[in-house]
Chain A
């Protein structure tokens, strides 16, 4: 597809030939900076605004008095989420599918990516194409749904996990990466009598950790953000809705969210009760809880994300 770009010139950019500073340059720099600063603020302001509205005094929030600075900071909104029953269940479902689904996907991608580099496999290129070509077509939503229901995977937790195990795109990434590992490493192991699985476990797996981390991050974000499959295949089992699906339902709820609370939970204090009835802040808080893991993970994983998109530019 696109040749991978070399990074050797990266430092040069900063020390690129200096312009003679003219009036036009100053104007350009100011305009350029202002555009990017405004756009960056537009990107982060919603996150910040969401945060301050969940930790500020609920009455002020209801009146719309919180705009830029949080007032009357408290965290009881977060604590009161515990008593929104379905939410905890959705949280458990989403965490489990993220952990299990990602782990299986990474294992499978690693193994298949390794296997398809083995030239001696029977029908290797055919099977590889058989997997890869599925990226470019799909039967459509309805046949897919009917197929899932035929497999008994509707209203079933496994419906979240099994279809995502073999991910063609990730297999391409892993395969490309493994091909860049010097072949001598593997060959010497085979000469010493190692089996394929041994080579995979002891050599390929540890050496491909960077790419495996990359696809793990992408997979986890995908699972965490999943909404469509919950909407389509879990129609009759509300216990299995994902967090995003629940959030979507709460956001669309015009009635008071108090209805979704556990009825008969008398241990909630009066203030929490009031907080719960304040559906606006609860919606905000649920949104915040849904976005927090992404925000926590993102700064540490940014280089993996970027590596992912760069590797994706390499033709499989």
Chain B
């Protein structure tokens, strides 16, 4: 008995292989549920092309967002769309059944068989859903205005229905081929799989929101306009990459934006020692209560948003701000200092420091309290003064921290965020304040130049990752420790 259990027969191996195919088919099914290009419910051009099967089965309002006019004109009936909605919903429910079955396939024999049955039930519901979608299509094709409604069965219909059928057949085969569960068998899932299944939803979320956007890089190779679709027809290869280099106006823009980005990041890098100095000098204040108070007040600005910082800026520097008030009361004229593009890089640096220096000093303050006091005592005995001790004891103690933060800052040299520059931007300073992130936002979201900005974002991401790895290598080489 024991030997029979451990020995894998060829039948067991076949079952294993079928299970692998089965699980992969289910994973593909789940992914295709979220891909708009494969939406089987897109049976008419009235349906938004950005909708996936999942959205069609969940949100009736977005499914029917464009049909109002068509219904009023009598081209389509509301019932058709209700059928379509219910059909999509049934398909989604079926896929959920398949997911449950797929998860249970990691368990004991009895659990696997139960999982297979759930999958079968789910997929049969799913098939009914597909029948519903087909029925909706039949009704649609009787429309009086074929040109505007354009009823068609999308390619995704066949792909997803095929996947559902495949999973259904596989689970039927598995149900038959697997040995009967004995009376002593129990529903059981191994610990390692139990833990893994608890983890799956979170891994899926990370996949959807952090990895799936990479799939959006394909827009860089198409001639895409907002609301359109990607197809063979508008595939343009490296056109946008060339455009970036060859189009005179764009190239000039990019160079200017890069100059601003590097200048402001460079200023940030050049002043990154300031928070260390801030911490060192703050620790020279020996009254703990006062030091604590200063620390509290100087860290508050870090927690307010850039919009509020801008609000403060108008409060103080605008033409109705306090400085203008004072000028006016002395007999001058009000000046709006924010509408002035001079030295904007330095001004942005100043705002950044006002907001962040107290906060970034905290890590150094903690670092100072971690330095061995005997070093200071020894230095005192050797006759070192205050500054000598700072320079020869405190600074070397903080350098490792400083080094790591500096390397991380270098790898983020192209990403200085857009909020700060967006709120402070105005026609007077827009040439100097426009950084890469803001440029991508303005051009991509506001002007809808999606492929071009995707190219820019793509290059930026690749450069940042390269810089990070470079910094990591450097850190390993210099300190023997990696930073990421």
A residues sitting closer than 8 Å to B (CB atoms) are 1-2, 5-7, 9-10, 12-14, 16-17, 19, 25, 28-29, 32-33, 35-37, 39-40, 42-44, 46-47, 49-50, 53, 64-65, 67, 108, 111-112, 115-116, 118, 120-124, 127, 130-131, 134, 136-147, 149-152, 162-163, 165-166, 168, 196, 221, 224-228, 231-232, 235, 244-245, 247-248, 251, 280, 283-284, 287, 290-291, 294-295, 298-299, 302, 305-306, 309-310, 313
Contact = CB atoms under 8 A, between A and B. Distances in A.
Interface stretch (B122-130, B144-152, B156-164, B293-301): B293-301
10 contacts: A7-B369, A16-B373, A17-B376, A42-B354, A44-B297, A121-B199, A138-B461, A142-B453, A196-B194, A302-B299
Nearest to A149: B50
A271 B193 CA distance: 67
Given A50-B315, A122-B195, A64 B328 contact: yes
Given A1-B483, A40-B297, A150 B52 contact: yes
A46 B362 contact: no
Given A40-B294, A44-B297, A140 B62 contact: no
Interface residues of B, number: 110
A146 B210 contact: no
Contacts of B441: 141, 232
Contacts of B50: 149-150, 152
Contact of B312 (A46, A67, A136): A46
A228 B419 contact: yes
B312 A50 contact: yes
A121 B191 CA distance: 7
A195 B192 CA distance: 13
Given A227-B419, A310-B363, A283 B311 contact: yes
B460 A140 contact: yes
A69 to B, nearest CB: 13
A-B pairs, top 3 by smallest CB distance, nearest first, are: A140-B457, A143-B216, A5-B370
A196 B192 CA distance: 11
A225 B284 CA distance: 34
B281 A309 contact: no
Contacts of A294: 300, 303-304
A144 B213 contact: yes
Nearest to B310: A251
A6 B354 contact: no
B196 A137 contact: no
Nearest to A29: B284
B245 interface: no
A222 to B, nearest CB: 10
B213 A143 contact: yes
Given A139-B216, A149-B50, A120 B400 contact: no
A150 B465 CA distance: 26
Contacts of B371: 9
Given A42-B354, A122-B195, A139 B484 contact: no
Contacts of A37: 294
B367 interface: yes
A144 B92 CA distance: 25
Contacts of B465: 136-137
> Which DSSP category, helix, strand, loop or mixed, fits chain A's interface?
helix
A33 B284 CA distance: 9
Contacts of B192: 120-122
Given A147-B216, A244-B308, A309-B359, 19 more contacts: A2-B404, A9-B369, A13-B286, A33-B285, A46-B312, A49-B315, A65-B325, A111-B198, A122-B193, A134-B206, A137-B461, A138-B213, A139-B457, A140-B454, A141-B437, A144-B216, A225-B304, A299-B296, A310-B362
B391 interface: no
Interface in B259-301: 281-286, 288, 293-294, 296-301
B202 interface: yes
A288 to B, nearest CB: 9
A5 B366 contact: yes
A79 B368 CA distance: 48
A285 B206 CA distance: 39
A151 B56 CA distance: 11
A13 B194 CA distance: 51
B325 A232 contact: no
Contacts of A16: 286, 373, 376
Nearest to B405: A2
A228 B219 CA distance: 22
Contacts of B310: 248, 251
A144 B418 CA distance: 15
A302 B297 CA distance: 11
A64 to B, nearest CB: 3
B195 A141 contact: no
Given A141-B441, A143-B216, A144-B213, A112 B320 contact: no
B444 interface: yes
A31 B74 CA distance: 82
Contacts of A196: 194-195, 198
Contacts of B1: none
B386 interface: yes
B354 A143 contact: no
A121 B196 contact: yes
B51 interface: yes
Nearest to B364: A5
Contacts of B198: 111, 115, 196
Contacts of A310: 362-363, 366
| B193, B198, B359, B468, most chain A CB atoms within 10 A | B198
B216 A146 contact: yes
Nearest to A246: B307
A290 B440 CA distance: 28
A239 B416 CA distance: 30
B305 interface: yes
B372 A9 contact: yes
Interface in B195-211: 195-196, 198-199, 202-203, 205-206, 208-211
B298 A39 contact: yes
A207 B236 CA distance: 57
A113 to B, nearest CB: 10
